[in-house]
Structure 1
Amino acid sequence: MKVSDLSRLTGTPVGTIKYYLREGLLPPGRALGATLTMYGDEHIQRLRLIRALTARGGLSIAATRDVLAAIDQPLDPLATLGVVHYALPTPVDAAETDAVGEQAPQVDQLLGAMGWDISEESPHRRALAASLMDLSRLGMEYSTEDLLPYAELAAAAARLDLDRLEDIEDRLRLAEHAAIVVLLLEPVLAILRRLAQEDESRHRTAWARTTDGAGPRSTTRPVDHPRESH
């Protein structure tokens, strides 16, 4: 297909496609002459992935190039996951490095309590410290004991992620899915959590109303309390 067809099928402007080609994000097409280059289905797939990484994943062009390079090699899926993890932006402000450092011992304590093998160079150590610092400034203190149940849920989600990758035999497709799992599944998990919070809030409110006049109001729904349809 011509570049105009590629643009139409993917919804990507021709100028953007040429920019991706110059930046090395998109592999060159097959030249059929001085002014004619043809592209294939692999270019459609790559453009969709680039859009997902940049628009959905929020990666810069440079970070996207690193991720795509890892996919193209391809590396071991765990190595690809590492490339994607390190490419993700973190909320650490350089001016707040010392303040973030105050939370580092708690991060180390949590990782130790979970028995997690995390590199000292992992940017997510500092990202977690920065997030805990922000919570602390708002008067929301989370101890290691408070965070452990959340960490255990995260560990369960991580096992599900890696289980799905194990079923993929093609190494290139495996590496591509590793990047997708990290970048594109995160918003799904966040939305599922919000939906669950909304559901839990509605049921707790409904349960509290049924206890009016029958003693102290409880905001905790018993596990055997029948769910009512909305």
Structure 2
Amino acid sequence: MRIALFGYGKMGQMIEEIALNRGHEIVAKIDESTEDINFNTMDVAIDFSMPSAAYGNITKCINNNVPVISGTTGWLDDYENAVSLCNDKKGAFIYASNFSLGVNIFFELNNYLAKMMQNLPEYKVELEEIHHTQKLDAPSGTAITLAEGVISNSNYKAWKLDHSSDETLKITSKRIGKVPGTHTVEYDSVVDSIQIKHTAHNREGFALGAVTAAEWIIGKTGIFSMRDVLNLG
């Protein structure tokens, strides 16, 4: 499989290492300043770029009939536009806030717990995420996905950074050292607390998930998620 990397930071380099070890070829390493891109050399593109570049990268791939995997967060105001374009062009696209197998199982657990707790208003929910100091966006895309899972199964209407109310779910974001990613969902009442937590030990799980998604999407048409890739539906 011939893979193009849009963004060649730490994640891009780790994806390259895993892809090569799995017998794939890296045919391009593209940053924001790259202008001459030969899309004919690519079987699939993996985007772990900057929020300002992600939408442009994704649309270029779709317009050139290249399936694209994106793990860049902070660009989702344009997500529906990307979906519309992909449908119009009959392309293939996967966005995930987190490609880790463990995190995607955590998403499912979060949704299931939220459904169990939805008729227990005495429990208030809060989310916390901790990442390394180089992470630019806050809250993390993973925290937003978790919040959306709670909101869709509760009376909360929205999430907000560092603020809560009866209808607003609070997300606390912390940036500490080199932490790869820790996410906690806590239901707290006067009498007790229930907490679920995912702790990443390194970034390899994210990179492996992205390469696995790239392998899976070849030959397919449509908008997919990691639930499709991992058959969690």
Q: TM-score scaled by structure 2?
A: 0.23
More strand by share: 2
Of the two, which has the highest radius of gyration?
Answer: 1
Structure with higher RCO (Cα < 8 A, 6+ apart): 2
Could you say which structure has the higher helix fraction?
Answer: 1
